[in-house]
């Protein structure tokens, strides 16, 4: 062993820890007991903001559906901007509303247009009673 190797090893102890490129996922942390309280205020604020954005998206979609001659919309035509962030957010809200059965969506095949349709008020009332 040359003196260079030993000096390299001893200097490693004094070096700061490198930053992790991929920090541990919160999903890998041990489960904590679930409570009524959110984990922190930012979680509650985030959830509230997402809920408000979904509501705004739903209201805007209802107006567009009412103005549509066919009662249907093509998802791509609903987006005011063509950025990936806006598209991802709108798609998230669309899937959330479809899961809640507030809107119907249909896609013939992967990468085809996504058709958005309204739900009749009667059907929406029944869905709300189920939830």
Q: Is the pLDDT higher at 51 or at 5?
A: 51
Per residue in 50-99, pLDDT (tens digit) is 888 889 999 989 999 999 999 999 999 888 777 888 888 899 999 999 99
Instruction: State the angle between helix axes of 41-67 and 84-99 in degrees (0 to 180), rounded to the nearest 10.
Output: 80
Q: What is the pLDDT of residue 37?
A: 54
- Partner residues linked to 107 by β-bridges: 114
Q: What is the pLDDT of residue 12?
A: 47
Domain boundaries, the chain: 43-118
Q: What is the pLDDT of residue 73?
A: 95
Q: What is the pLDDT of residue 102?
A: 94
User: In 10 A of CB 94, how many CB atoms?
Assistant: 20
Contact 105, 94 (CB under 8 A): yes
CATH homologous superfamily of 43-118 = Structural maintenance of chromosome 1. Chain E (1.10.10.580)
Q: What is the pLDDT of residue 114?
A: 96
Per residue in 18-45, pLDDT (tens digit) is 444 444 444 434 444 444 555 566 888 8
């Amino acid at each position: 062993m040359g003196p260079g190797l030993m000096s390299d090893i001893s200097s490693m102890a004094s070096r700061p820890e490198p930053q992790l490129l991929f920090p541990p996922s919160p999903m890998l942390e041990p489960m904590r007991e679930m409570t009524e309280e959110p984990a922190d205020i930012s979680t509650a604020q985030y959830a509230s903001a997402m809920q408000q954005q979904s509501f705004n998206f739903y209201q805007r979609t209802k107006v567009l559906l009412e103005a549509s001659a066919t009662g249907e919309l093509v998802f791509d035509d609903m987006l005011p901007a063509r950025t990936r962030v806006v598209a991802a957010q709108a798609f998230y809200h669309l899937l959330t509303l479809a899961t809640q059965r507030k809107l119907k969506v249909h896609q013939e095949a992967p990468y085809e247009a996504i058709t958005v349709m309204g739900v009749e008020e009667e059907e929406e009332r029944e869905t709300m009673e189920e939830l």
